[in-house]
Amino acid sequence: MVQGNNASRSDQKIGMLDIARILVKHKFGVLMFDMRARGDSPSSKASAGYYERLDLQGASDYLVSQGSDRNRIGVLGFSLGGAVALMAGSNPNNFGAVVSDSAFADYSLMLKSSMKGLKRPLNLCFPGMKFMAKTMYGIDISDISPARSIAQSDTPVLIIHGEDDVLISPDHARRLGRAVGASFDEIDNGKETVWIVPGAGHMEAFKTQPETYVRNVINFFTNHLYPQAPSN
């Protein structure tokens, strides 16, 4: 499980520990860790997912070193953690399936949306931010694109998003769904790949519909990670 930005692995706001307990109850092993510069992880520069995906890859490598089958490792990520999971999951050698909750489809697109209310013209602000990211962190923010990553990947994904999310628009979930080949009809009707939750804000899907959330996540992981369902 991977937390969102400015959060820790035990984030109570979205119920990460509650979800972890339920997964354990259903015979899933659960690893929770803090990405760099968050929670109990040593101080380091956060990078909007660019380097954080290496943290997730390291967590997957650790599980494999402990005897886990990489193809039976599933990742549940929230917000930035979901974006990180989608990007890291583009490498089929990392893990077997990804559930992404409230992730952005493209970081540049999200930044541009957040700047619409600024007084300075967007065409002045955005290039400056790209320059700062390149100078200070050595990254090109145009490369932080979960949608582009999963479009080139065969890793199974489930996209969850709150319909009332004002931080990251549910349009990002639709873009992610389209990136893996889902039709607009499938997306709007909640068919397999994308589930947009009515009445839920940012990372509020579990709190809004806990039973359906758990059922969807467990069914998805069971179908894609286990040849036979783990006994309840």
In a domain, residue 82? The reply is yes
For residue 172, what are the domain limits? 16-106+144-225
Whole-number average pLDDT of the chain? 83
- Any long-range contacts for 64-72 (C-beta under 8 Å, 24+ apart)? 68/29, 70/94, 70/95, 70/96, 71/95, 71/96, 71/225, 72/96, 72/225, 72/226
What is the mean pLDDT of the segment spanning 133-156?
A: 83
The H or E element containing residue 210 is: helix 210-225
pLDDT value for 225: 93
pLDDT value for 114: 65
Does pLDDT of 89 surpass 60? yes
Structural domains counted in the chain? 1
Give the pLDDT band of residue 117 (cuts 50, 70, 90): low
CATH of residue 168: 3.40.50.1820
Q: How far apart (Å, rounded) are the C-alpha atoms in residues 155 and 107?
A: 21
Q: Which strand ranges, in their side-by-side order, compose the sheet holding 157-162?
A: 74-78, 97-101, 157-162, 194-197
165 compared with 180, residue with greater pLDDT: 165
In a domain, residue 5? The reply is no
Exposure of 66 by Cβ count < 10 A (0-12 exposed, 13-18 middle, 19+ buried)?
A: exposed
In a domain, residue 7? The reply is no
In a domain, residue 119? The reply is no
In a domain, residue 137? The reply is no
pLDDT per residue over 91-102, tens digit each? 878 899 999 999
Give the pLDDT band of residue 3 (cuts 50, 70, 90): confident
In a domain, residue 150? The reply is yes
Q: How far apart (Å, rounded) are the C-alpha atoms in residues 184 and 106?
A: 19
Does pLDDT of 135 surpass 70? no
- CB contact at 8 A, 218 and 172: no
Does pLDDT of 203 surpass 60? yes
In a domain, residue 122? The reply is no
Does pLDDT of 40 surpass 70? no
In a domain, residue 66? The reply is yes
Does pLDDT of 232 surpass 60? no
Give the pLDDT band of residue 142 (cuts 50, 70, 90): confident
Q: How far apart (Å, rounded) are the C-alpha atoms in residues 41 and 128?
A: 30
